[in-house]
Structures are given as C-alpha cells and as structure tokens.
Structure 1
Amino acid sequence: MADAELKQRITTAMKDAMRAKDKPRLGVIRLILAEFKRIEVDERIDLDEPRILAVLDKMAKQRRDSARQYTDAGRTDLAEQEDFEIGVIQEFLPAALGDAELNTIIAAAITDSGATSARDMGKVMGLVKPQVQGRADMGAVSRIVKEQLAAQA
C-alpha cells in the first residue's frame, strides 16, 4: 500500500529541515514520524490519511494542554517550546473550519442521522467527526452538537 500523501509531505519537510540545519523544526517532525511508526508497528497497519490527521490532531491537542499547564505554572520557556511544536504540527493539518462551515456540517449531520435529542449525539458525532478531523477542536464540535440538539428538543 502506498504511503499517504500527507505522510510523504512530512517526510519531505524532514529532509528540507535537515538540509537547512533547522534542528528545532527537525526535532518536531521526527517526533511526528516516530509517532506514526509507533502506531504502524504496534497495530501492524499502514496509516491512511484520516488516521494521520487524527494523530496530528491529538499531538496538537496534547501540546495545547501542556502549554496551558506550563503557562499556569509560570514556565513560559516550556510553554513557548510547546507553542513552537504546535505551529509545526499545524502546518500539516488542513485549514481550520470557520464557525459557519462547522455549523453547516453539524446541521447536515443532524438532518442526515434523523437525530432528535441528546441521546442521538453519538450518531451525529459519527457523521461529523470524519469531516472535521484535524480542522476543528472536537471538544468545541461536541459542544455545538449538544447545543443544536438541545435547541431541537
């Protein structure tokens, strides 16, 4: 099975960082590729595009959480490192969805799934998640889905 296009882009970015002797950027890209390799070895699979986006999204979320904790603890040096890593990871994620686009996707998923109450949230999230993975914060998406389902009830 051929490597996913996004994975090839990340590998090319690693080679570019090596040539440019950009050690901080190279370190982050190597972390990304190491996580891909770990998952492929542990699960004995080749990562496809949606799974790669999910991994990148998870890595960015972990770093946002860490940066927030470092900032709260007064460790701005470590928070800045996390912010730098977030920036590199986000280069490989698709452009973020605007509020209008996100609301449209969620409304369509509610209609398609026939959801009528908060009990149907799983059905709606099942339809929404593949469309917004890596392009929106899933916590915010979940909150919007709850609000729209509550407004329908």
Structure 2
Amino acid sequence: MSLKAKITEDMKAAMKSGEKDRLAVIRLIQAQIQQREVDERIELDDAQVLAALEKMQKQRRDSIEQFDKAGRTDLSTIERYEMGVIGAYLPAKLDEAELDAIIDAAIAESGATTARDMGKVVALIKEKAAGRADMASVAGKIKARLA
C-alpha cells in the first residue's frame, strides 16, 4: 500500500472513530500533497510524499520554537500534537552508527576527497536515508569528514 493510500485509509478510520483532532491533521497532510500535485502537475510517489511530510515537520519545529519564545504554550502544544501525527507516517530515524556507516559508504562509493565533492556524497545519501535523517546535520558531518 502506498503512503498516500495509507493516509487516505487513516483519514477514513479517524472519521469513523470520531477523532476530530487527528482527522484535522490528516486533512492538512492530504491538502499539502494535493497542492504539490496540482502545482507540479504530477502524481506524487512515496519519496515525494515523504519530502512533503518532512517539510511539514520542519515547519512545525520552527513554529514550536517561535511559540515557545513568545510564551504561547497553548499553540506550541497544538503544533507538537500535529508533529506526532505527521511523524507517524515518517520512517524511523537512523541512529548515529547507521548514519556514520551510510556516510562512509557514500564517500567511498563517490570517491570524494575534498569538500568540492560534497554534492556527490549528499546525492547518494539522500537516496539511502530519505526521510530517516536530518540532511542539514548530515551535510555538516560530511563536510567535517571531507575537510
């Protein structure tokens, strides 16, 4: 079952069980997916749906940070709940050892030796760790190893 189909099935289940808060978040997810499909005139595959979900997670993290700074814990609580629902559709995150192994393998596979080769390494890692690692921290690790 594709990720989009799972989201649709979960929406139906949330409707039947009366989970209004969860249903609202799932509808937000579907709206984001449909918006991308309309804008780009394509049918999103699982990797693209994961990218959309990651973007939504990042937006929520930024919002939580801003709400906490402003002392609006009521709004940050809502954002945390939304992150939890969205996070249920994302694959499990890689631990440090797995991530280090993937980075080492990508550096060896691409033959990268300097920071100028970083793009090749990042491209390989994106394939293997899509949705399972924060690419900003991965880029920092790659840069440190190639420096």
Tell me the TM-score normalized by structure 1.
0.93
Q: Give every structure 1 segment of 4 or more consecutive aligned residues whose post-TM-superposition deviation is greater than 2 Å.
A: none
Are 1:47 and 2:34 counterparts? no
- For the aligned residues, what is the CA RMSD? 1.0
Assess if the C-alpha contact under 8 Å between 1:94 and 1:134 holds in 2.
yes
AA of the residue aligned to 1:22: E
Aligned residues: 147
For 1:126, the equivalent position in structure 2 comes to: 123
For 1:58, the equivalent position in structure 2 comes to: 55
State the 1:50 CA deviation. Answer: 0.8
Distance in 2 separating the partners of 1:112 and 1:146: 16
State the 1:67 CA deviation. Answer: 0.5
For 1:79, the equivalent position in structure 2 comes to: 76
Distance in 2 separating the partners of 1:94 and 1:18: 24
2:96 aligns with one of 94, 99, 102:
99
Assess if the C-alpha contact under 8 Å between 1:50 and 1:130 holds in 2.
no
* Percent identical: 56
AA of the residue aligned to 1:41: V
Assess if the C-alpha contact under 8 Å between 1:57 and 1:133 holds in 2.
no
AA of the residue aligned to 2:135: M
Give ranges in structure 1 of 5+ residues lacking alignment.
none
